Amino acid sequence: MQGITRIKEKIMEEAEKEKARILSEAEKKAEEIFEKAKRKAEEIEHTLLEKAKKQAEEEKRKIISMAELEEKKRLLQAKQEIIDLVFKEAEDKIRQMEEERYKKLFFEMLIESAEGDEELIIAENDRSRITEDFLKKVNEELVKKGKKGNLKIVSFSKDITGGFILRSKNVEINGSFDYLVSIKREELETEIARILFEE
């Protein structure tokens, strides 16, 4: 009987040892799984953080780029407004020119442009300055230059603010100050921008 008790005890001892070994291995395995999961979680967290940082940087770059673009647009608009003012002032100075000087400019432009048999359309607000007497002098000068002297005022236009439109059967010459300033603007705008803004 004693031998059986000893065998029982021995089996129990072995069972306890095996249980302790299994528990120890299980704990070790659990620890490894936990560490592995922890490392994976840290890797994922790091990857997510890096991704979030990159997205934030990209978003920041986009916002800065949009702001710079908006600023350039506003600056360009302001420059355009200044250039518009320069040309408007030029038109105003022509319109407000002292009468004799204005008539002289008008006279010279007609002598330069006309063949002498065209119809003449002038600005409504030039009605008092460009009279039949004025036109008579223009026609006399045209004859002196070997041209015809039959220019006739046919109408007054509200569409032009100064200058004239010469119309013949085949040709129309726009000598309105609005048009001439717009032509000069195309030629000079870049140069004026360079002078004004040192570009």
Query: Cα-flanking dihedrals φ and ψ of residue 117, to 5°?
Result: -120, 20
pLDDT digits (tens, 9 = 90+) for 120-139: 999 998 888 889 999 999 99
Question: pLDDT of 58-87, one tens digit each?
Answer: 888 888 888 888 888 887 787 778 778 877
For 155-169, what is each residue's pLDDT tens digit? Answer: 988 888 888 999 988
Name the H helices within the chain: 2-95, 99-113, 132-144, 177-197
Average pLDDT score over the chain: 84
Q: Residue 2: what pLDDT? A: 66
Look up the pTM and report it.
0.56
Structure tokens at 152: 């006739």
Contact by Cβ (8 Å): 139, 118: no
Q: Which residues pair with 152 in a beta bridge?
A: 119
CA-CA distance, 179 to 27, in Å (whole number)? 94
101/189: higher pLDDT: 101
The per-residue DSSP string of 120-166 comes to: EEEEGGGTTTS-HHHHHHHHHHHHHTTS----EEEEEESS-SSEEEE
**Pairing, β 152-157 against β 119-123:** parallel
Report the C-alpha gap between 152 and 150 in whole angstroms: 6
